[in-house]
């Protein structure tokens, strides 16, 4: 299958000279996690919730209001693109090899669509995926946070582990989830509420439990990939903890499902 048959043609873009709040409004309005960045309609970068969370949490920008940041200072400039005729499994491999969540799709020099891991998940239903269970593809190397960890520690964990979400465990029991979206919103809200001169000291007092989502959705190791994919599509979550009894034994993410699709298609 060519990638043009899977990509989203509904392109929501932001100009590189717009301010960060403009991107935030678009992300929220369209319920997407990343936006292609343009300059005179030409693709020049991509900006994601994870990029924003990482930038706002860095020491260089820790006291700067979001309104003073331009898209061009937050976006990733080296963007992978693919031609619309590229095969699905080739695009999947490109995304996996480079650790990216989406790629703009081009027709010559014109951007005609974008494809994300979420688009691939829509393929992971049906007879073939009914026969594969969570335990066969889930990630067992679990990176987690504690409710009493500082927000800045959770951000560092996500950066070092290159993940977009962390299960929150208290005495090894699942009590919440924290995502790049949560981090992004927390840093923005913090800047709005706390005077600039107090931000450097008070950001250290913000804890994971202050911003995590409670009662998180989870799955069992024996559920089929079809069932998990349907939950991901319904909820919009990028990953789900895998729980056995009271213990978290792993996590299954869009990346795990993308890896399975690439393997089956190759």
CB 6 within 8 A of CB 88: yes
Average pLDDT estimate for 16-23: 93
CB environment 81-115: b (16+ within 10 A), e (fewer): bbebebebbbbbbbbbeeebbbbbbbeeeebebbb
What is the structure's pLDDT at 144? 96
Distance of CA 43 to the CA centre of its chain: 21
Is residue 41 over pLDDT 90? no
Please give the Cα distance from 135 to 66 (Å, whole number). 41
Is residue 116 over pLDDT 70? yes
What is the structure's pLDDT at 63? 67
Among residues of the chain, what percentage have pLDDT more than 70? 99
Among residues of the chain, what percentage have pLDDT more than 90? 77
pLDDT tens, 53-108?
Answer: 888 888 777 667 778 889 999 999 999 999 999 999 999 999 999 999 999 999 99
pLDDT tens, 184-217?
Answer: 999 888 988 888 888 888 988 999 999 999 989 9
Indicate the pTM of the whole model.
0.90
CB 20 within 8 A of CB 69: yes
Please give the Cα distance from 226 to 129 (Å, whole number). 5
What is the structure's pLDDT at 266? 81
CB 81 within 8 A of CB 106: yes
What is the structure's pLDDT at 17? 94
Is residue 164 over pLDDT 80? yes
């Amino acid at each position: 299958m060519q990638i043009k048959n899977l990509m989203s043609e509904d392109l929501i873009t932001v100009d590189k000279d717009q301010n960060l709040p403009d991107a935030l409004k678009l992300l929220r309005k369209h319920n997407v996690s990343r936006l292609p960045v343009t300059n005179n309609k030409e693709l020049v970068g991509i900006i994601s919730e994870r990029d924003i969370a990482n930038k706002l949490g860095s020491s260089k920008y820790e006291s700067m209001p979001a309104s003073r940041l331009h898209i061009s200072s937050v976006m990733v400039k080296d963007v992978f693109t693919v031609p619309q005729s590229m095969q699905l499994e080739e695009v999947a491999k490109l995304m996996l090899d480079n650790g990216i969540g989406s790629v703009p799709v081009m027709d010559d020099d014109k951007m005609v669509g974008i494809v994300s891991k979420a688009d691939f998940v829509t393929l992971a239903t049906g007879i073939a995926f009914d026969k594969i269970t969570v335990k066969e593809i889930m990630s067992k190397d679990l990176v987690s946070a504690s409710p009493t960890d500082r927000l800045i520690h959770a951000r560092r964990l996500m950066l070092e582990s290159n993940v977009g979400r962390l299960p929150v465990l208290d005495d090894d029991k699942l009590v919440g989830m924290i995502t790049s979206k949560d981090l992004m919103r927390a840093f923005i809200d913090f800047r709005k509420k706390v005077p600039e001169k107090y931000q450097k000291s008070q950001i250290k007092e913000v804890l994971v439990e202050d911003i995590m989502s409670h009662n998180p959705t989870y799955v069992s190791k024996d559920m089929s990939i079809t069932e998990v994919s349907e939950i991901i599509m319904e909820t919009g979550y990028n990953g789900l903890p895998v729980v056995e009894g009271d213990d978290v034994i792993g996590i299954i993410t869009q990346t795990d499902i993308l890896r399975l699709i690439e393997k089956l298609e190759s």
